Amino acid sequence: MKDAAFAKFVVLVNGLVPLALLCWDAWNHQLGTNPQEFAIRTTGMTALVFLMLTLAVTPVRKITGWNFLSNFRRLLGLFAFFYGCVHLFIYFGLYQSFSIGAVAADSLKRPFIFFGMTALLVMLPLAATSTNGIIKKMGAKRWKQLHKLVYVAGIAGVLHYFYLVKADERKPLAFAAVLAVLLGYRIAKGLSPAARPVAPARA
């Protein structure tokens, strides 16, 4: 195995660690007093962490010059989507008894469900267009444009968390701060004169 392939393999294995620990805990009945709540909380948290990691790849790569980091971006994004789906599945099954109508009503009625749904729905086309073949078919430019939706997913994901907590907002605020830095970096770069195309001098 080449080093690059091995590095991806490391990311893959690490991405499965939360799932493995969750299954291990479930198998050993170590999910605590309210296992349903624990499972839905941890999968949501894990999805959010992977979403932040995905968004961190580009800024960290640019600052450090470690270009190999971009190899991991797709995998990290897919893990965010994967854990988001497990999170949704628990909500769908245990909280809404697999009733699509109830989920739809809940999504429109409650801001935190609405934002959570938004985050996942937005990630769906991103996950679906993540293969090399599709990137080629779409063309890099269009693909890149579509994948800007990940910013929407990040914002919706953090809002989802923020609207859920009762009073202790420290954790959602920490995620909001991380997100602000990651998006702020992009805005700063985008707006800085160096990044702007140089206007041709007028004669």
Partner 1 sequence: MVIKQGGQLGDGDVTDQSVYLNRRKFMRAGVLAASVLATGWVYRRLNAPPMVKSADRPLAKVVAATEPEAEPMLGPNDLKTSFDDITHYNNFYEFSTDKESVAAAAAGFVTRPWQVEVGGLVSKPRVFDLDDLLKISPPEERVYRMRCVEGWSMVIPWDGFSLSKLLDRVQPLSSAKYVAFQTLMDPNRMPNESSDLLSWPYVEGLRMDEALHPLTILASGLYGQQMPPQDGAPVRLVVPWKYGFKGIKSIVRIDLRADEPPTTWSAYAPNEYGFYANVNPEVDHPRWSQATEQRIGDFERRPTLMFNGYADQVAALYAGMDLRANF
**Residue numbers of the site for partner 1 (CB under 8 A)?**
6, 9-10, 13-14, 17-18, 21, 25, 28-38, 41-42, 45-46, 49, 94-95, 97, 106, 110-112, 163-164, 166-168
Least distance (Å) from partner 1 to the CB of residue 129? 27
Q: Which is nearer to partner 1, 21 or 181 (CB)?
A: 21
Q: Which is nearer to partner 1, 38 or 185 (CB)?
A: 38
Q: What does the alpha-carbon distance between residue 50 and residue 76 come to, in Å, rounded to a whole number?
A: 6
Least distance (Å) from partner 1 to the CB of residue 33? 4
Q: Which is nearer to partner 1, 32 or 184 (CB)?
A: 32
Q: What does the alpha-carbon distance between residue 188 and residue 134 come to, in Å, rounded to a whole number?
A: 31
Least distance (Å) from partner 1 to the CB of residue 60? 17
Least distance (Å) from partner 1 to the CB of residue 35? 6
Q: What does the alpha-carbon distance between residue 81 and residue 48 come to, in Å, rounded to a whole number?
A: 9
Q: Which is nearer to partner 1, 39 or 126 (CB)?
A: 39
Q: What does the alpha-carbon distance between residue 155 and residue 180 come to, in Å, rounded to a whole number?
A: 9
